[in-house]
Amino acid sequence: MKYFVLITITLILYMGTAMTENAHDHSFKSINEEDIIKLSDYKGKTIVVVNTASLCGFTYQYDGLQDLYNTYSDRGLVIIGVPSNDFGNQESGDNAQVKEFCESTFNITFPLTEKNIVKGKNAHPFFQWSKKELGFIGGVPRWNFHKIIIDKNGNALAGFTALTKPSSRKFINEIEKALSL
């Protein structure tokens, strides 16, 4: 009987540990539709995941995101753009068109995923997870260019709406804090 109790307790502890989820458990298909972007490949780095759209009033934020990537990538910052057509049909092109637009208009060099659903019950699993971690305000994009900061261990730190520019002191302070942890 005591062995049964010990095995049961061990199994419960193992199951609890195995079911702990973080950002590193997620991946996206790359915009080239072939490669997989595994967030686990970025363990030890600070990640900003941002849902994007080419025809949005906030599309100018690509410049600021690229500037951040250029400035902080040597210190371990990774930015991952997630194109989405969830808001106002503002990303209606296919993946090849989105890639071409980002590279030719904004010289984007950070990783881009294929187009994804970022809200609702059919949202990509990463965004379902971020909702659980950061709640409705921080973890759920309510428009394009919602930015989610992930620490080096895969924990969700903060979410910023489209109204927060990549050049915002508050946003940069949060990134610098995460990079220094």
- The domains located in the chain, with CATH, are 23-180 (3.40.30.10)
Catalytic residue among 31, 49, 53, 56: 56
3-state SS, residue 156: strand
Q: What is the pTM of this model?
A: 0.88
Alpha helices of 19-158 — where are they, by DSSP H? Answer: 61-72, 95-106, 125-139
Tell me the C-alpha distance between 156 and 174, whole Å.
12
Q: Is 56 tagged catalytic?
A: yes
90: which 2 tokens?
């503002």
Instruction: For the chain, list residues with pLDDT below 70.
Output: 1-20
pLDDT in tens, 71-114: 999 999 999 999 999 999 999 999 999 999 999 999 999 999 99
For the chain, strand residue ranges (E) read: 27-29, 36-38, 46-52, 77-83, 147-150, 156-160
